[in-house]
Amino acid sequence: MHSNILGVQAAVIAIIAYAFALRRAPRATLWWTLFVVATVVVYLTKARTALITVVFGTVAVYVVGRPIRDAADPAAAFDEVVREVEAAM
């Protein structure tokens, strides 16, 4: 399989895994691991377009997936992220 095709397929998997990981699905650790592995595969294929797709795709998923109130009050959003990280530990 050509590296550009593999890069595109891994990019799609990375974006989907990122979307499920943000939703805190029952297997969030699995989705984060899959996201990291797929992103590493994209990086190792040296497919620049696929890597750019992963970057912009994750930004798009993050922006669409977050409530509007986070954009209106970044300090509250930061506090929420800190609470989520502390709860995960």
pLDDT digits (tens, 9 = 90+) for 74-84: 677 777 778 88
Are the C-beta atoms of residues 54 and 36 closer than 8 Å to each other? no
pLDDT digits (tens, 9 = 90+) for 55-68: 888 888 888 877 66
Question: Beta-strand (E) ranges in 18-59?
Answer: none
pLDDT along the chain (89 residues), means of 10: 77 87 80 89 86 86 71 70 80
Say which DSSP state 26 is in: T
Question: Exposed/middle/buried for 72, CB within 10 Å: 0-12, 13-18, 19+?
Answer: exposed
